[in-house]
Amino acid sequence: RSPPAPSTMYRAASGLGALKHGADTQLLNIAVRSASTSVAQRSSGGFLGWLTGARSNALPPPDFALPGVTIPPPLADHVEPGKTKITTLSNGVKIASETSPGSACSVGVYVHCGSVYETPETLGATQLLKKLAFTTTRNRSQLRVVREIGAIGGSAKASANRELMSYSYGALKTYMPEMVEVLVDCVRNPALLDWEVKEEIMKLKAELAEASSNPEAFLLDALHSSGYSGALANPLIASEASISRLNTDVLEEFLALNYTSPRIVLAASGVDHNELVSIAEPLLSDIPTATGTGKPKSVYVGGEYRRAADSSNTDLALAFELPGGWLKEKEFATASVLQVRIE
């Protein structure tokens, strides 16, 4: 017999390949279904099972209760905001607090002090004090301060602006007494060691040199220096020459004049007020009641400021006087909404 034509042989081979492919696919599907059923019936135990070699025959339900763990009831649909309670100590220090749901709380010490209280001899003091906020105190080394904050999973930070110094500390409510004690110690008792002061001055100069290449960083300072005559014209970002004049003696004198009891507020969120007062009062009641320096006056005069920069971009800012500032809530809220709308 003559051999089949090549086209016939190709069709036969294709048919066998298709048949074999169909059989393989069917076997693969069966294997997948079997594997899925096996996995559903027998769990490997995840990471813990891999670590211990244990096996679990069934997956626990999502609402499985852990022994010894009490789950608090869910919050109601409407939770009334906590009322602010304020206690004024005999020396003038104010203690304010609000209750809040949840397991965390935040504590802060706020001092009515900033660059407006700086003189030509103390320009840059507030920025330097901010950087020295959580360094060595008379009771703790810097290492101990850092370790005590980290040991409870806390987060502490400090900030300085023209009219306010703030030191804040957040952690679980359980550690509120420790938070208040460490925070007050850092604010009231900074050691201001010479080597720490010099080290932070060097860091501040480096930050100043870095910021000088970013014109946008100087816009707010430029607005104040050109728009005001008086204390509000003091630069928040002091010059290198001003920073170089600072030392331990200058900082101690600045603290003595401005960190006085009538200008200090201890505020907390998520704590019981009576408990907060009982802890904070012994730590704050002996702060001197001297009024210190009075608030310097400032006059809005308007003006213009220009500065050349080695950049292809131009940064522009406009500012307008808002009489009363944040002390007038209605005008402040209106200006804030307008600012967001413009942005």
Is 159 inside any structural domain?
Answer: yes
Is 315 inside any structural domain?
Answer: no
| Contact (Cβ atoms closer than 8 angstroms) between residue 175 and residue 154 | yes
Does this model's pTM top 0.75? My answer is: no
**How do the pLDDT tens digits run along the chain, 343 residues long?**
555 554 444 444 444 444 444 555 554 454 444 444 444 444 455 555 555 555 555 677 777 777 777 776 776 777 677 789 999 999 999 999 998 888 899 999 999 999 999 998 999 999 999 999 999 999 999 999 999 999 999 999 999 999 999 999 999 999 999 999 999 999 999 999 999 999 999 999 988 877 777 777 778 888 888 889 889 889 888 888 899 999 999 999 999 999 999 999 999 999 999 999 999 999 999 998 876 667 788 888 988 888 777 777 888 888 888 777 777 878 888 888 887 866 5
Is 1 inside any structural domain?
Answer: no
**CATH number for the domain harbouring residue 229:** 3.30.830.10
Is 143 inside any structural domain?
Answer: yes
Give the structural domain span for 187. 85-299
Domain count, the chain: 1
Is 245 inside any structural domain?
Answer: yes
| Contact (Cβ atoms closer than 8 angstroms) between residue 264 and residue 183 | no
Is 120 inside any structural domain?
Answer: yes
Residue closest to 198 by CA, chosen among 138, 128, 127: 128
Is 19 inside any structural domain?
Answer: no
Is 60 inside any structural domain?
Answer: no
Q: Which residues, other chains included, contact 301 with Cβ-Cβ below 8 Å and sequence gap of 6+? A: 227, 228, 229
